[in-house]
Amino acid sequence: MRSHNSKPHPQIKGAQIIDGKVNFPISWLNQQGYCEYSLFLEYVQGVTTAVTPEMQKGQNIHQELEEKFKEEAVPTTFSDMMELSKKEEIMSRELWVLSPKYGIRGFIDEIWLTPSEFVIIDDKPGTTAYYSTINQVMGYCLAFKDTINDENRTIRAALRERGTDNIFWTSEFNEDAQNKIEMLISRMQDLFNGNKHFLPTKNPNKCAKCRFRNYCEFK
Ligand code: SF4
C-alpha cells in the first residue's frame, strides 16, 4: 500500500492533514447528522465529556465481536483477500480504509467480500436507519471504493443491529449515493477549512439528550 505524508491537524483534534488535505474519521459523518455544532465543540473547541452508558455498552459489544472473530480468523493481506474473494465468499472485521482523495478514514466494522459484491456493514444500536448513520456507512463505501480503485464489483451498504445478525437496512452504493456523500464530505471540508459555519440542530429533543448541552450556547 502507498505511503502518505501525514501530520496532525494543528487546530482540529482528531483530524490529520494527509497529502495536504484535511482528513477526518468517517464516524464524524454520523455526528454531523446529529448536530454539526457538536463537532465544533468536541474537535475545534476541545470540549471533553464523560463516556455515556450507551457509548460504553457499544464499546463492550464491539470488543466481544472482535474477540470472537479473532478466534477463527486467518491473517491475510488486503490484496490476497481481494484475490481470494473472486472465487469464494470471505469476511473481514475492522478493515482499515483511508482515502486521501476525499479526506476520510476509518475502520469498517465488518465486510463480506463475495465474487459478485462487497457488503459493507456498520453495527448500530437499535434498528432505525437514521440519515446520519446512512451517511456514515456510505462514507465507508466511498473510502473502500477509492481504496480498491479499479474493481467493478457492486458495493452494498448495510446497517446491522449491534450484537445480532439483524441487518435492518441495506442499499446499493450507486452513482446517486456516491454523489450525495461526496457533496456532504465536501461540506465537511468547508467546515474544517473555515469556509462554512457549523450549524446547531433545530431539534430540541436532540439537545435534551446531548452530552455537550452544558457547554452549548444553542441548547
Ligand atoms: S446542545 Fe443541541 S445545538 Fe448544542 S451541540 Fe448539543 S445538539 Fe447541538
Across 133-148, average pLDDT = 96
The C-alpha cell that represents 133 in the structure block: 448513520
Domain extent at residue 39 = 6-215
What's the structural domain count of the chain? Answer: 1
Per-residue model confidence as pLDDT tens digits over 126-138:
999 999 999 999 9
Domain assignment present for residue 1? The answer is no
| Pocket test residue of 42, 210, 215 for ligand 1, highest count of atoms within 8 A of CB | 210
Residue 137 domain-assigned (yes or no):
yes
Report the b/e string of 94-133 with b at 16+ CB within 10 A.
ebebbbbebbbbbebbbbbbbeebbbbbbbbeeeebeeeb
Ligand 1 centroid distance, CA of 214 (Å): 9
- In a domain, residue 148? The reply is yes
Predicted local distance difference test score (pLDDT) of residue 4: 82
Query: For residues 171 and 6, which has the higher predicted lDDT (pLDDT)?
Result: 171
Nearest CA to ligand 1 atom 2: 207
Q: Is residue 97 part of a domain?
A: yes
What's the confidence (pLDDT) of residue 75?
Answer: 67
| 197-209 per-position pLDDT tens digit | 999 999 999 999 9
> Considering only CA atoms, which of 162, 177, 157 is closest in space to residue 54?
162
pLDDT the model gives residue 149? 75
150 pLDDT exceeds 70?
Answer: no
Assign residue 12 the CATH number of its domain: 3.90.320
In whole angstroms, what is the distance from residue 207 CA to residue 202 CA? 9
Instruction: Report the pocket of ligand 1 as residue ranges, CB < 6 Å.
Output: 35, 37-38, 41, 200-201, 206-207, 210, 212-213, 216, 218-219
| 65 vs 109: which has the higher pLDDT | 109
